Structure 1
Amino acid sequence: MQIKTITCHEVYNHGATLQEYALLVYLNSLSHKAEVIHYKPPYLSQHFNLTAVGNPKFNLPLIKQLYILVKLPKRMKMLQRKRAFDKFHTKYIPTGKKLYSSNEELKKDLPEADAFICGSDQIWNSFFQNGKDPAFYLNFVPDFKKKISYAASFAIDKLNEEVKPLVKENVLRLDAVGVRETSGVQILSDLGIHGAEQVLDPVFLLTRKHWNQFTFPIREQFVFVYDFDSNPLIKEIVLKLKKENGYAIYTVNANIDYADKNFYLEGPETFLSLVSQSNLNITNSFHSVAFSLIFNQQLVVVNRAEKINTRMRDLLALFNLQDYLISTTAAFNFWEPIEYSKVNPLIQEKVEASKQFLVKSLEG
Structure 2
Amino acid sequence: MYRVGIITFHCSYNYGSVLQAFALQKYLETQGYSVKIINYVLTSNFEQYRLFRINRYKESLKYLISDLMFFVPNYRRKINFENFQKKYLSLSDKKFQDNDNMNSLNDEFDAFICGSDQIWNLDCTNGVNPPYFLNFAQKDKLKISYAPSLAHKTFSESFLNDLRNAIKNIDFISIREESTIDAIKGLTDKQIKVVLDPTLLLDSTQYEQVEINPKKNKDYVFVYMLENNTEFINYCNRYSKENNLKIYYLSQKRMSGLNGENLFGIKPEEFLRYIKDAQCIITNSFHATVFSIIYHKQFCTFPTLKSSSRMNDLLRELGLLNRFYNSDFKMNDFIDYDYSDKQLDSLRKESQNYLLEALSTLE
State the TM-score, normalized to the length of structure 1. 0.91
Distance 1:243 1:316, change over 3 A: same
Partner of 1:247: 245
What's the CA shift for 1:336?
Answer: 2.2
Q: Distance in 2 between matches of 1:194 and 1:336?
A: 43
Q: Say if 1:194 and 1:259 are closer, same or farther in 2 by CA, change over 3 A.
A: farther
What amino acid sits opposite 2:311 in the alignment?
M
Structure 2 match to 1:168:
164
Answer yes or no: is 1:322 the counterpart of 2:326. no
Distance 2:107 2:234 in 1: 50
Q: Distance in 1 between matches of 2:212 and 2:303?
A: 28
Residues of 2 paired with 1:260 and 1:167: CA distance? 44
1:269 alignment partner in structure 2: 269
Residue 235 of structure 1 corresponds to: 233
Moved more, 171-180 or 330-339: 330-339
Superposition deviation, residue 76 in structure 1: 4.0
In terms of mean alpha carbon deviation, does 246-255 or 20-29 score higher?
246-255
Q: Describe the shift of the 1:356–1:109 C-alpha distance in structure 2 as closer, same or farther (beyond 3 A).
A: closer
**1:280 CA displacement:** 1.4
CA distance in 1, matches of 2:275, 2:190: 37
Cross-structure match for 1:40: 41
Residues 291-319 of structure 1, C-alpha deviations (whole Å, 9 max, x = no match): 11111111111111x33311111111111
In structure 2, what is the Cα distance between the partners aligned to 1:89 and 1:67? 27
The answer for the alignment partner of 1:61 in structure 2 is none
Distance (Å, rounded) in 2 between the aligned partners of 1:212 and 1:142: 38
| 32-41 or 159-168, which deviates more | 159-168
Displacement after TM superposition at 1:215 (Å): 3.9
Q: 1:73 to 1:154 in 2, by over 3 A?
A: same
Q: Give matches, 1:164-243, under 5 Å.
A: 164-213=160-209, 214-216=211-213, 218-243=216-241
Indicate conservation of the 8 Å contact 1:263/1:270, yes or no. Answer: no
Letter in 1 for 2:252: A
TM superposition shift of 1:205: 1.4
Question: Partners of 1:67 and 1:153 in 2: how far apart?
Answer: 29
Matches within 5 A, 1:1-364: 1-46=2-47, 47-54=49-56, 56-58=58-60, 68=64, 71-107=67-103, 110=106, 112-129=108-125, 131-213=127-209, 214-216=211-213, 218-255=216-253, 256-257=255-256, 258-304=258-304, 306-326=305-325, 328=326, 330-333=327-330, 336-364=333-361
Task: Please give the secondary structure, in 2, of the residue aligned with 1:300.
Answer: strand
| Residues in 1 aligned to 2:360 and 2:59: alpha-carbon distance in whole angstroms | 54
- How far off its partner does 1:87 sit? 0.7
Shift of 1:102: 2.7
Residues 187 and 331 of structure 1: is their aligned pair in 2 closer, same or farther, counting only changes over 3 Å?
Answer: farther
Q: Which amino acid aligns with 1:261?
A: E
The Cα shift of 1:332 comes to 2.0
Question: What SS is found at the alignment partner of 2:122?
Answer: coil
- Between the aligned partners of 2:174 and 2:34, the Cα distance in structure 1 is 21
Following the alignment from structure 1 to structure 2, what is the Cα–Cα distance between the partners of residues 229 and 325? 15
Q: How far apart are the structure 2 equivalents of 1:122 and 1:67?
A: 25
Q: CA 1:117–1:338 in 2, change beyond 3 Å: closer, same or farther?
A: same
- Work out the percentage of aligned pairs sharing the same amino acid: 29
Whole-Å Cα distance in 2 between the matches of residues 337 and 352 of structure 1? 26
Q: Displacement of 1:278 after TM fit?
A: 1.3
Aligned partners of 2:306 and 2:65: how far apart in 1? 35
Superposition deviation, residue 92 in structure 1: 0.5
- Residues 74 and 218 of structure 1: is their aligned pair in 2 closer, same or farther, counting only changes over 3 Å? closer
The 1:33/1:237 distance shift into structure 2, 3 A limit, reads same
Stretches of 4+ aligned residues off by more than 3 angstroms: 55-58, 66-71, 107-111
Partner Cα separation in structure 1 for residue 208 and residue 19 of structure 2: 13
Within 2, Cα distance between the matches of 1:242 and 1:69? Answer: 33
- How does the TM-score come out when normalised to structure 2? 0.91
Decide whether the 8 Å contact of 1:220 with 1:248 is kept in 2. no
Contact conserved, 2:106 with 2:138, CA < 8 A, in 1? no
The 1:55/1:333 distance shift into structure 2, 3 A limit, reads farther
Counterpart amino acid of 1:48?
R
Report if the CA contact (8 A) 2:56-2:63 is conserved. Answer: no
Q: Secondary structure at the match of 1:121?
A: coil
Is there any run of 5+ residues in structure 2 with no aligned partner, and where?
none
8 Å Cα contact 1:168/1:193 also seen in 2: no
Mapped contact 2:53–2:63 kept (Cα < 8 A): no
Q: For this pair of structures, how many residues does the alignment match?
A: 355
Distance in 1 of aligned mates of 2:321 and 2:144 = 29
